[in-house]
């Protein structure tokens, strides 16, 4: 499994710092033996410039990783500590370079505290001020541990996304049901309006019929009275 770019750049920067430390030792040796130091001094100046650029790039990359949450907070803090160590190493190397070999020989382990050790080769930079849960682990094991943590976080995010998706679907279903209920209510309201209108019409007709019936009854009574009067008037008295 390929290493993450930030870690690759960090390792490359540590190797460059070790090369600078070795070149400073070589320059000091040449000075003690009255050898020419022009070439190696120019090489050191160029290396210091490159080291400064690489540390700046590491700082910017780490800032982007933290802001985009591509790494967890504890991992970001650990990498910040590694970066701070690199800055301290750069300052020690600069001081050693400016001493021009006037001080006693400084061991590379002192120059490279927190990065690469003695001539035996590089040491694990993750062992510096590391938390208890990663102590004793190699870089590859730490990466695997971090990858597992990220996978667990991704699984949690997937589960959360699934819950949100179900809630969204439930909301849409409820909205559809409300729309159907509103349509039913509108139909009922329309039906009630039509029924009310019919009731008013029928009531008006009944009232009209009642008025006509009352008028006809009165007319019949008047006619009967008139007939009775006529009969009485023409009926011969005994």
> pLDDT category, 112, cuts 50, 70, 90?
very low
- Residue 196 placed within a domain: no
- Residue 121 placed within a domain: yes
> pLDDT category, 42, cuts 50, 70, 90?
very high
Model-level pTM?
A: 0.44
Question: Which tokens sit at 124?
Answer: 């694990």
Tell me the mean pLDDT in the region 18-38. 91
- Residue 234 placed within a domain: no
Give the long-range contacts of residues 138-145, CB within 8 A, separation 24 or more: 139/3, 139/7, 140/1, 143/1, 143/3, 143/4, 143/7
Mean of all residue pLDDT scores within the chain: 78
- Residue 36 placed within a domain: yes
The CA radius of gyration of the chain, in Å to the nearest whole number, is 51
- Residue 11 placed within a domain: yes
pLDDT at 218: 76
pLDDT at 237: 56
Domain that holds residue 38: 5-136
Tell me the mean pLDDT in the region 193-200. 80
Phi and psi at 58, nearest 5°, equal -60, -40
Number of folded domains in the chain? 1
- Residue 150 placed within a domain: no
Higher pLDDT, 210 or 176: 176
- Residue 129 placed within a domain: yes
- Say how far apart CA 55 and CA 84 lie, in whole Å: 10
* Percent of the residues in the chain that have a pLDDT greater than 90, as a whole number: 31
Q: Which of 76, 88, 90, 79 is nearest to 19 (CA)?
A: 90
- Residue 114 placed within a domain: yes
């Amino acid at each position: 499994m390929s290493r993450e770019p930030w870690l690759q750049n960090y390792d490359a920067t540590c190797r460059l710092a070790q090369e600078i430390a070795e070149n400073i030792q070589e320059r000091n040796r040449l000075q003690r033996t009255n050898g020419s130091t022009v070439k190696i001094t120019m090489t050191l100046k160029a290396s210091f410039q490159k080291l400064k650029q690489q540390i700046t790039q590491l700082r910017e990359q780490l800032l982007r990783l933290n802001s985009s949450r591509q790494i967890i907070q504890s991992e970001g803090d650990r990498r910040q500590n590694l970066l701070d160590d690199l800055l301290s190493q750069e300052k020690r190397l600069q001081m050693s370079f400016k001493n021009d070999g006037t001080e006693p020989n400084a061991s590379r382990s002192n120059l490279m505290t927190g990065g690469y050790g003695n001539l035996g080769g590089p040491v694990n930079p993750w062992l510096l001020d590391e938390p208890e849960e990663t102590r004793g682990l190699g870089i590859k094991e730490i990466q695997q541990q971090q990858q597992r943590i990220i996978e667990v976080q991704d699984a949690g995010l997937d589960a959360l996304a699934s819950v949100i998706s179900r809630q969204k679907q439930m909301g849409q279903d409820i909205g559809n049901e409300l729309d159907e209920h509103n349509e039913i209510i509108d139909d009922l309201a329309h039906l009630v309006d039509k029924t009310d209108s019919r009731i008013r019409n029928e009531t008006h007709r009944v009232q009209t019929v009642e008025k006509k019936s009352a008028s006809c009854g009165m007319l019949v009574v008047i006619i009967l009275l008139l007939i009775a009067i006529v009969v009485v008037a023409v009926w011969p008295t005994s």
